[in-house]
Chain A
Amino acid sequence: MNVEFDFISVLEQWPILLTGVSWTLGLTAISTFLGVLSGLSLAWVRVKKFSALNTFIKVYVELIRNTPFIVQLFFIFFGLPQLGLRLSPEVSSLLAMTINLSAYSSEIIRAGIDSTPIGQIQAGKSLGLSEFSVFFNIILPPALFRVWPALVAQIIIVMLGSAVCGQISTEELSYAANLIQSRNFRGFESYIIAAVLYLVLAVVMRLLLNQVGKNLMFRGLLKNG
């Protein structure tokens, strides 16, 4: 068998690949920010035990965590227009990723908060700190630090999961690989290159986010004296 590889004909299409990497990174960055922020709020509401909201959040979290991402994405892109809500492929992807990460991260962060020793909270309260201050300065930093690796893993999963957003014509990295493959029929080379790019993105993101996590801990320690 004589196999010839032609990586050049794929790499020649670098503008498509670059657009792909940019969309993947951009979508992941924004959905990470919004998703973790909203996950944090949801976790806060759940530990505060506002009963009505709690049930609502529980349903939301179960709904998102027990259905495939692609179904959520298709529902937003192909389903919502029937109700008159038309979102562009990019906004649909962003919304789906944010909603998805929000559900997972709220559970991860809640686990961190729940594992905070009660004495630590009582100590904060006995110092006369406000409810707000106790949560943000005493409970949250060590809680986040404990669950940071899990949270980073979830963010990476969302980044890799964004690969299906190409199905609704968002021009992310897998869409780029598919497009190149359908133009020059170099399937092996296209997907190997896409895989390597994903790998690099994931490793770099993990390193960066781990660094952020470390800073978070020191900031927490400093603030907590």
Chain B
Amino acid sequence: MKKYFPLTKIIFKRLLAFTILGSLLNLFSIPVFAQNALETIQKTKTIKIAIPTDFPPYGFVGVDLQPQGLDVEMAQLIAQRLGVKVELVPVSSPNRVAYLQTKKVDLVISTLGRTVEREKVIDFTHSYAPYYQAVFGPKTSSIKSFNDLAGQTISTTRGSLEDTELTKLAPASAQIKRFEDNSSTVAAYVAGQVQLVATGASVAAAMAQKNPQLASEFKLLIKDSPCFIGVAKGEDALRMKVNEVITAAHKAGDLERLSQKWLSRSTGELPE
């Protein structure tokens, strides 16, 4: 028994050391965040906003190597209304929430959908733009409802939200062709192997941009999942301010203009 005693002691000592170190770090971090984000933004005259750069048309890098897209313009619009400079921080889908949690950015404008899991760790403003999964097809096809999909071939990405929903909504005689990833799903449609394609709005927009000869258009809405702006937990002042900006922009028709410009579609209902 004696042999184990020193080991327990060492462990205990280390634990104690970690605890002290941890509280010290906490002490240091408190002054940094004592000031709320809105005050810091107004004082430094800059706002740091996380945007996507790999998700056209919401956020992508143009030929001039500058970020552009709906999310990017939204970020610029908010900065402008707040009367501050914008500092764009490129993020990816998996790390965008972490950027906000660690306060590397003040806002995340990155096609962020509001989910129960995310609401546990960050707060959301009102929604600013639509995002949706839909069925797309050529202008010549007259699809009005899910029943019209009978006998049609539709490509989709296996296991995606649109696959799950479409499988439920489409009639039994609709042939859903499932592919491994978005690029194969789109390729099958572009090659004319299927009549319609069910995919996310951004994927469809990029497809339409690269293949104007297809004259593809929006046919049926599968599911709406609008984009919200993410704010760190506890930054209520900033969240209220951004909400004011969004409401004003909505009234002034700025949100509609952005949606039409980048998505060729009305914003529709934007939930608060």
Contact = CB atoms under 8 A, between A and B. Distances in A.
Nearest to A79: B191
Given A167-B184, A182-B158, A89 B192 contact: no
Given A78-B191, A89-B193, A169-B188, A183 B159 contact: yes
27 contacts: A77-B188, A77-B191, A78-B191, A81-B191, A82-B191, A86-B191, A86-B192, A86-B193, A89-B177, A89-B193, A167-B179, A168-B179, A168-B184, A169-B155, A169-B177, A169-B178, A169-B179, A169-B188, A175-B178, A178-B158, A178-B180, A179-B158, A179-B178, A181-B159, A182-B159, A182-B163, A183-B159
Contacts of B191: 77-78, 81-82, 86
A81 B193 CA distance: 8
A88 B192 CA distance: 10
A181 to B, nearest CB: 8
- Chain B interface SS verdict (over half): mixed
Contacts of A82: 191
Interface in A80-95: 81-82, 86, 88-89
B187 interface: yes
Q: Which of B178, B188, B193: most chain A Cβ within 10 A?
A: B193
B180 A167 contact: yes
A210 B108 CA distance: 64
Contact of B187 (A78, A181, A182, A183): A78
Interface of A is mostly: helix
Interface of B: 155, 158-159, 163-164, 177-180, 184, 187-188, 191-193
A88 B194 CA distance: 9
Given A169-B179, A169-B188, 13 more contacts: A77-B191, A77-B193, A81-B192, A81-B193, A86-B191, A88-B193, A89-B177, A89-B193, A167-B180, A168-B188, A169-B178, A175-B178, A182-B163
Contacts of A182: 158-159, 163
Contacts of B180: 167, 178
Interface in A154-183: 167-169, 175, 178-179, 181-183
Contacts of B178: 169, 175, 179
Nearest to B159: A182
B232 to A, nearest CB: 31
Nearest to B160: A182
Nearest to A92: B193
A172 to B, nearest CB: 12
A89 B187 CA distance: 13
A81 B159 CA distance: 26
A78 B192 CA distance: 9
Interface in A38-93: 77-78, 81-82, 86, 88-89
